[in-house]
Structure 1
Amino acid sequence: MSRTVEGQTDMTAPVQAAYSYCEAVTGAQARNFAYGIRLLPTEKRQAMSALYAFSRRVDDIGDGALAMDAKHDRLESTRGLLDRIRRGAVDEDDTDPVAVALADAARRFPIPLDGLDELIDGVLMDVHGETYETWDDLKVYCRCVAGAIGRLSLGVFGTQPGAPGAERAAEYADTLGLALQLTNILRDVREDAASGRVYLPGDDLAKFGCSDGFRTATPAPGADFTGLVHFEVRRARALFAEGYRLLPMLDRRSGACVAAMAGIYRRLLDRIERDPEAVLRGRVSLPGREKAYVAVRGLSGLDARTMSRQTIRRRG
């Protein structure tokens, strides 16, 4: 599907077209991740776009309007496509551009494709209406839908030769995924409640008097919603601090990509912490200019150095 000549990838037209399709999907739908992905060199950017497009397809099935049985069938069919990619049974003549691009990316990078099986497992949890009583329960879900994406991405990024602690890189990538997912859960509590989904652990909801849920723009009488949010924010910050240990192990542009994506979510977390009830009134987001600023800081290494210093202080 592609061949390497003197260190350069000579890509066939169908494969290039497949990557272009995936990059278009990423640019149109990856509201936060696209800012980091743009900082990567071409081959890594293309591979990350293929991963995103496949993941987006899985998420869209879970969030779509199909009946539960139909969603289950579509997800298992997607798992079958993933198995074909894993077996090398997808070539450039396949009519599915996402499959063509992901198959080529898997040939060029050591991507642990089993992580996409985990993503499908996580979306099936959504389809079946799983709820989570404890943080340990929720971590299982977060590792499927976000930690796995961190480990898949690490397959594209790679680690720098001789980087200290590189044997734990996958663990840190997984933990950073958990931090991003918990931030997503806080941001989307009202939207998820409207869809009948509750992700925050049941014992946390009970502790802060929030077991009645989040279907209105104000907390239920007697609920300590601010306390609940601040409790989860502290948990997310601890996960970010642990996950940031990955950054020194990456090359400059891969590190910039991760720093940009993490930086955007950290700023979202800051906004949520300052005004917890904002998440009940609507979706908390950053303007595009602020996301671009975070990306520039990531490319310059400023956010990476800041994150590393914060991690060192916490460890000390």
Structure 2
Amino acid sequence: MITRDAELAAAYRHCKAIAAEHGRTYFLATRLLSAPRRAAIHALYAFARGVDDVVDHPAGAPARPAATRLDDIEGRLRAALTIASSSPRSASGPGSGGTSPVETALIDTIDRYRIAPEHFWVFLDAMRMDVPGSPLFRDRYADMSELREYMRGSAAAIGLQLLPVLGTVVPVAEAEPAAAALGEAFQLTNFLRDVAEDLDRGRIYLPADELAAFGVDEVLLAHCRHTGRTDPRVRRALAHLIATNRALYRTAAAGVDLLQPRVRPAIRTAAVLYADILDEIERGDYAVFDRRATVPARRRLRVAAAQLGAGLCSATARRTHDGLL
């Protein structure tokens, strides 16, 4: 008979494999965290990735519509969390209710770190905005306000899920605005990097009014995708949106010092490396229609090593300071 601990360990290993395969930047950054926090981050990532796959890859999914599958996921999660809240963690089986390995690890993470469940309902609603036929569906965004409404669930909610896992030196509520901003910064970077892929799926995750200010419309974006060449007007619009994106990273940066000292290097690593994608877009002369901007492996390792070194120096300084008091 498989014990609860063995099933849970296998579930977390499954999440780790997903994070290693699909989230290179995040996976590298988590190497700077303690093992329990690292496992929890892998569970959160794997869940978000799985839901995203339901929405973005319906062709390879079961015959049931994506909206139905999202409803099923939410139903299982709500039921499992209800059981977890009414039973000691050691007494509730991780796979009860037909949950998948990812959901098993996620439920344990939510319970262990007391993550507010509403962050997951907001996230799932944002994913419904990507599903044709859903009452919430939207594949175009008139302005940044509309786009931020989407990112509140698709990105800011992720940052808020992470906070209890990472730990803060202030009340969690004080750290939430910066955490939400970092989630939005990561998401907007994805949108700028993945313009071509999103167009192929019939979606545009960039504010139409800000594109129009540079003479860019949907027809021009489609032309750029067809030719693989970035029109000068699109180049200027992307430069503007990259500046907007960097402002979000600056807003989020101040919040890193609100986290527990031991996790700061990991979060700084993720923020620096994700912001580096913007640098790569610029270096490639905004050629986002025929290639996907990626940060070279050597750069990723160098940044992680530097942040780890800074974290070790900081920890040594704290211990020395404490020893002198």
TM band (smaller chain): 0.7 to 0.9
User: Hey, what does 1:103 align to over in structure 2?
Assistant: 107
Q: Deviation digits for residues 45-98 of structure 1, max 9, x if unmatched?
A: 111111111111100001113499701101111111221232135623435211
Q: CA deviation at 1:170?
A: 0.8
What SS does the aligned partner of 1:241 have? helix
User: Hey, what does 1:224 align to over in structure 2?
Assistant: 233
Task: Note the 1:125-274 alignment, pairs <5 A.
Answer: 125-128=129-132, 129-160=138-169, 163=170, 167-211=173-217, 212=219, 213-214=221-222, 215-216=225-226, 217-220=228-231, 224-274=233-283
What SS does the aligned partner of 1:281 have? coil
User: Hey, what does 2:32 align to over in structure 1?
Assistant: 39
Whether 1:50 and 2:50 are equivalent positions in the alignment is no
Q: Which amino acid aligns with 2:197?
A: E
Q: Which amino acid aligns with 2:245?
A: A
Q: Deviation digits for residues 203-238 of structure 1, max 9, x if unmatched?
A: 012111110224231235xx5112101110110111
Contact 2:113/2:164 (<8 A) preserved: yes
Report the Cα distance in structure 1 between the residues aligned to 2:30 and 2:44, rounded to whole angstroms: 11
Q: Which moved more, 1:239-248 or 1:127-136?
A: 127-136
Q: Deviation digits for residues 142-190 of structure 1, max 9, x if unmatched?
A: 1211111111011211102xx4x86420111000111111111110111
Report the Cα distance in structure 2 between the residues aligned to 1:78 and 1:167, rounded to whole angstroms: 28
Report the Cα distance in structure 1 between the residues aligned to 2:287 and 2:32, rounded to whole angstroms: 31
Report the Cα distance in structure 1 between the residues aligned to 2:179 and 2:49, rounded to whole angstroms: 19
Q: How many residues align?
A: 288
Contact 2:55/2:131 (<8 A) preserved: yes
Report the Cα distance in structure 1 between the residues aligned to 2:73 and 2:111, rounded to whole angstroms: 19
Q: Which amino acid aligns with 2:276?
A: R
Contact 1:133/1:202 (<8 A) preserved: yes
Shift of the 299–85 alpha-carbon distance from structure 1 to 2, 3 Å rule, reads farther
Report the Cα distance in structure 2 between the residues aligned to 1:85 and 1:292, rounded to whole angstroms: 38
User: Hey, what does 2:120 align to over in structure 1?
Assistant: 116
Shift of the 231–13 alpha-carbon distance from structure 1 to 2, 3 Å rule, reads same
Q: Which moved more, 1:91-100 or 1:275-284?
A: 91-100
User: Hey, what does 1:308 align to over in structure 2?
Assistant: none
Runs of 5+ consecutive residues of structure 1 not aligned to the other structure? 1-10, 306-316
Report runs of 4+ in structure 1 exceeding 6 Å deviation: none
Q: Deviation digits for residues 247-291 of structure 1, max 9, x if unmatched?
A: 111123311121111111111111223334321221000122221
Structure 2 length as normaliser, TM-score?
Answer: 0.82
Identity across the alignment (%): 34
What SS does the aligned partner of 1:12 have? helix
Structure of higher CA gyration radius: 2
Out of 16, 26, 41, the position equivalent to 2:19 is 26
What SS does the aligned partner of 2:130 have? helix
Q: Deviation digits for residues 26-58 of structure 1, max 9, x if unmatched?
A: 112212211111211011111111111111110
What SS does the aligned partner of 1:79 have? helix
Whether 1:80 and 2:75 are equivalent positions in the alignment is yes
